[in-house]
Chains A and B, each alone.
Chain A
């Protein structure tokens, strides 16, 4: 077996192990012991998590050997790395607080992120000149780690909200919380839809002009929305129902919008189906599972992970990024959309920390902020690449 296949297999293994670890963390809910104390299920859960993490580390190292450069240079690689760092951050926080329920939320989020990443092209790709510097690896890995630690506060925030928000009536709060869960379903929807149509080898091609050049693009999902001003060149295919608006400029905007719509629809179906099975909102169904959770600890984890993640994020996403930009483009700051969104993230968590200085922003309010912060991180990780365009466009 070559390094590349070893690496891919290790990633697959890690994923499966995380899955089993999650089940063990799930089992801790039923145990009589109070959260915070270790139980046997929890011990197995965390051990498996560590083994899974080591397997994924193996994926990373072998892929590095195979490519000859650190595998953080395209969307698949970076997003996978982010998932790995999320597991790492979870392990650290777990040993600080021993909160089992955190595993039940953090690991699935990490798995969904890794699953999401795997939907992007996975071939090894060469580095363009601007990426050929060690600062790239240093910047991307540190930024990824920082974002992952910050993301732990999202997992904690979610636990806090599911337990705290009063589910007896439908209002803005319950709706927003359910919407957050829906976004997770939409990511799942994206994965399932992509896998399904890939298995069917579905293809439909369009011809259109991009930057004045005749281009064709291939969709691997049925076309709900076609590229702007395009013609379908595959016969006998479904759709398209409408066209991408002209102002969506990015590379292959049509295909990305189509995928996005499919994900939202897929998520809608999954979410609706789940609610039908549970006969109530998902958050409401989850609430009783969190009966034993001590909100003070959860609040503290939420804050602590921001406190730990903020310096790492600053170092990686701003300072190392600036050094890299200085080395590569002779300007350490260029107001590129990706840079700006790193700044937005930084401002956001700075605001979070300052708000925490006053009592009133502890607890629920700060849990909502943790959720918003994660949304900003994911926006920067994914949407900026797909929607806005700039120097960093990996995809």
Chain B
């Protein structure tokens, strides 16, 4: 390495812009921070050498320099910003109805742009490889650029000598000369600064007053917080850290909880939906009426959690042991062993079973036999006795009629319909019956027998989200560290004031990393009782 020796005797590493000890510009390196064109010195890291500005030969150097550039960082952030915004033009796949085919949905709902959106993969933008890559690149950039600068920052802050070169002093943004000054005035100035919590160091009459140095570390602390958050996001891809499942449980049903290795079961004892009653909540009456009278007040599942006793044997009926009983409401999950069950969806009045009776077509009161179709345990055939039997030809849990052709919208018995074949001793071959709620369909030619609905049993279904999330503490830690970092960097500023004695008078220069107004105010009020001229702002934007 080519060390650079300054006239003050200090030996600086290669790439140094301002001598670490005295601040004198290193002649051949002024292009690095663009100082040669400006009257004022660029005080970034006090001109310490930065790897990215020093080497640019190998591929490693070039990659390093690429990612440590703030320009590149900003571009990545802007790209992520634009990409994120694009994802909100049309709803993401997770927000469209579950029952429809996305490829059709986007075309049907949003026309040609919707189709394009879908084909470009924007319907699942935030999970797309390129979006994840973009965020990952921001992460890489964060790490590299922080390392690139934390080293020079550390060097710069370690070498805070009170005695600085004249050029360094003159080329600060705040700089002022006073030709004649008394020792007492300087003393008062220093005392005042001390009162304002500046730390004073002195060397042969040269004084450095400095405050809030710690705030310079703010960006690095906040970047570390961001990196931790990104690590948390990566860990979510591993199931031992993160489970996110969903289960529908009908009233009275006991079901295995997905994502728990078959270890836990849940029973839905009751699902409750309460609405706001405009009579009771008078003050809200107007708003409730505007919403059509259906403003929900509470959704709740009364649930029991069971744990499997002993080993889980595949195929065998497990032995369950009651573990916990509780109510699940929105905002109030039921928690057990690291898992949490959240109230997420519901379906009111799903069919549990339907009873039918068979009777002669012209006499509904003369029942030949009855049977009950249980949605949870559907049979292919029902024997009605006396040689009569009913075969279920087709069962549509949620009937959809398209051009007169029946099909099912979903597997949930929300609007069941059936095609039955009836066989009997006095029926020649078989008779076909079509049955559906509400849909009045002609029983067919001239059936001798007719099937009629005899009764139904309904029940509610609750939709619960199952979650285990061990990454939460990582995100929380990242967020807290980020906040500490930004507050540290934004609400305090690193202020420095150099007092440079001259034969009769004194030069004063000052620098801060932000909030120049505050620094000027500090200096002005500290100089109040003295005859020293306040330093001038050498930079004017206008």
List, in ascending order, chain A residues with CB within 8 A of B542's CB. 164, 294-296
Q: A299-B541, A330-B342, A337-B88 are in contact. List 12 more A-B contacts (CB 8 A).
A: A121-B290, A123-B287, A130-B330, A246-B111, A247-B111, A296-B537, A296-B541, A344-B85, A347-B84, A354-B73, A357-B44, A390-B95
Is there contact, CB below 8 Å, between A330 and B340? yes
Chain B residue, CB-CB nearest to A347: B81
Chain A interface secondary structure, helix, strand, loop or mixed? Answer: helix
Q: Which segment, of A82-90, A107-115, A201-209, A310-318, faces chain B? A: A310-318
Q: How far is the CB of B258 from chain A (nearest CB, A)?
A: 15
How many B residues face the partner with a CB closer than 8 A? 65
Is there contact, CB below 8 Å, between B84 and A126? no
List, in ascending order, chain A residues with CB within 8 A of B110's CB. 247
Q: How far is the CB of B463 from chain A (nearest CB, A)?
A: 12
**With A123-B287, A303-B514, A351-B78 as given contacts, are A311 and B342 in contact (CB-CB < 8 Å)?**
no
Q: Is A335 an interface residue (CB 8 A)?
A: yes
**With A247-B114, A340-B84 as given contacts, are A354 and B340 in contact (CB-CB < 8 Å)?**
no
Q: Is A38 an interface residue (CB 8 A)?
A: no
**With A311-B487, A314-B483, A354-B70 as given contacts, are A327 and B283 in contact (CB-CB < 8 Å)?**
no
How many A residues face the partner with a CB closer than 8 A? 65
Interface 0/1 of B417-456, CB less than 8 Å to A: 0000000000000000000000000000000000000000
Interface 0/1 of B104-129, CB less than 8 Å to A: 00000111011000000000001000
Q: Is B465 an interface residue (CB 8 A)?
A: yes
Is there contact, CB below 8 Å, between A340 and B88? yes
List, in ascending order, chain B residues with CB within 8 A of A347's CB. 77-78, 80-81, 84
List, in ascending order, chain A residues with CB within 8 A of B109's CB. 246-247, 249
Q: With A and B bound together, what is the CA distance between A125 and B116 in angstroms?
A: 40
Which of A67, A300, A351, A357 is close to B515, meaning CB atoms less than 8 Å apart? A300
Q: With A and B bound together, what is the CA distance between A124 and B288 in angstroms?
A: 10
A residues 301-325 touching B (CB-CB < 8 Å): 303-304, 307-308, 310-311, 314-315, 319, 322
Is there contact, CB below 8 Å, between A344 and B482? no
Chain A residue, CB-CB nearest to B42: A359
Q: How far is the CB of B210 from chain A (nearest CB, A)?
A: 20
Q: Is A329 an interface residue (CB 8 A)?
A: yes
Which of B85, B126, B479 is close to A335, meaning CB atoms less than 8 Å apart? B126
Q: Is A286 an interface residue (CB 8 A)?
A: no
Q: With A and B bound together, what is the CA distance between A67 and B286 in angstroms?
A: 13
Q: Is B356 an interface residue (CB 8 A)?
A: no
List, in ascending order, chain A residues with CB within 8 A of B479's CB. 319, 322
Q: Is A350 an interface residue (CB 8 A)?
A: yes
Q: Is B516 an interface residue (CB 8 A)?
A: yes
Q: How far is the CB of B107 from chain A (nearest CB, A)?
A: 11
List, in ascending order, chain B residues with CB within 8 A of A299's CB. 541
List, in ascending order, chain A residues with CB within 8 A of B92's CB. 335
Is there contact, CB below 8 Å, between B286 and A123? yes
Q: With A and B bound together, what is the CA distance between A55 and B78 in angstroms?
A: 41
A-B contact pairs, 5 of them (CB 8 A): A97-B517, A311-B486, A322-B475, A329-B344, A340-B88
Interface 0/1 of B132-148, CB less than 8 Å to A: 00000000000000000
**With A126-B276, A126-B284, A314-B482 as given contacts, are A307 and B514 in contact (CB-CB < 8 Å)?**
yes
List, in ascending order, chain A residues with CB within 8 A of B78's CB. 347, 351
Is there contact, CB below 8 Å, between B88 and A341? yes
Q: With A and B bound together, what is the CA distance between A357 and B514 in angstroms?
A: 10
Q: Is A388 an interface residue (CB 8 A)?
A: yes
**With A97-B517, A123-B286, A388-B88 as given contacts, are A129 and B331 in contact (CB-CB < 8 Å)?**
yes
Interface 0/1 of B320-343, CB less than 8 Å to A: 000000000111010000001010
List, in ascending order, chain A residues with CB within 8 A of B42's CB. 359
Q: With A and B bound together, what is the CA distance between A249 and B247 in angstroms?
A: 29
Is there contact, CB below 8 Å, between B81 and A348? yes
**With A308-B490, A311-B486 as given contacts, are A126 and B288 in contact (CB-CB < 8 Å)?**
yes
Q: With A and B bound together, what is the CA distance between A348 and B81 in angstroms?
A: 7
Q: Is B540 an interface residue (CB 8 A)?
A: yes
